[in-house]
Amino acid sequence: MMRAVTQTTLGGPEVLALTEVERPEPYYGEIQVRVRAAGVNPVDPAAREIGLYIGQPPFILGWDVSGVVEKVGIGVTRFKPGDEVFGMPSFPHQAGTHAEFVTAPSRHFARKPESLSHIEAAGLPLCGLTAWQALVDNAGLSAGQTVLIHAAAGGIGHLAVQIAKSVGAHVIATASAGKHEFVRGLGADEVIDYRAVDFADVVSDVDVALTTLAGDYAERSISVLRDGGVLCQLYYSKRDAEFPEAVARGIRTDFMLVEPDLIGLQGLARLADAGELKVHVSETFPLEDFVKAHEAMEHGSATGKLVITV
């Protein structure tokens, strides 16, 4: 058995409960990980409340984890019990890291970067892979290009800024004024206070834009992209054909969902161990404080990541 944050109906934080459930045993090719820390992400409250992506309960939320291999399933040779790993279950239809143990295929995990604690590494998989897959895989961001990153102090944003700098891009970031020093510290070349200035008035000709935000951020970002540029949308809004300006100017407006990705995990670990990627964790919550963690994610505007510790 194990303790886990479970829910049997959709709803507010009150539907969550810390209960005793069966410990998930590793199937062929899977590993069982003793959770040391697990990220909380914006998708969690939405999954809890409306079943976004995950569907109907019962389920255990939580899509990223850092921990210690407890058991290996038959046929697994990549890890042995005691190895420190970070990674994720399948997104979005499997979750389960807000618990004492989680199992997932071995190639959903890589060795934890030595330079990061479990708390820091737990902030990487979902947000780090999202940023990596958007900038590296999808946009093919390269040295000398300019990238516009919205909400650059957030969970995805603060990692995206550092990944973009690591490939040699020029980074224009948006953030509220109180977070400018933090964002500059990540390496951003220009930081715009979105409350004081409409970025669309002061930015132009960017190669890639990345947004996690609702509203008209997609349209306004398209207006500052060069012809043939790429908008990576991490908040679902409209599809390509619904952005006439993008169609007319050959701009891709890709909506992306993160996938487990060993190449990405190894890339993130390499950057972390090279000192080029730091994970900023603004607050941690013991597993018992699951309601506080959800409330902080829902109502707050955290800098960096929120992480549950187990």
Residues that bind its own copies (CB under 8 A): 27-29, 53, 74-78, 90-93, 105-107, 137-138, 236, 254-263
By C-beta, is 139 or 152 nearer to its own copies? 139
By C-beta, is 105 or 304 nearer to its own copies? 105
Give strand ranges (E) for the chain. Answer: 2-7, 17-21, 30-40, 59-60, 65-72, 84-87, 101-105, 109-111, 146-149, 170-175, 190-193, 206-211, 225-233, 252-255, 281-286, 305-309
By C-beta, is 266 or 301 nearer to its own copies? 266
Alpha-carbon distance values, 84 to 31, 161, 221, 267, 308 (Å): 12, 26, 40, 17, 17
In whole angstroms, how close is the CB of 262 to its own copies at the nearest point? Answer: 6
Amino acid identity of residue 116, one-letter, is L
Distance CA 274, CA 271 (A): 5
In whole angstroms, how close is the CB of 92 to its own copies at the nearest point? Answer: 5
In whole angstroms, how close is the CB of 133 to its own copies at the nearest point? Answer: 8
By C-beta, is 139 or 306 nearer to its own copies? 139
By C-beta, is 130 or 303 nearer to its own copies? 130
In whole angstroms, how close is the CB of 148 to its own copies at the nearest point? Answer: 18
Give the 3-state secondary structure of residue 90.
coil
In whole angstroms, how close is the CB of 215 to its own copies at the nearest point? Answer: 20
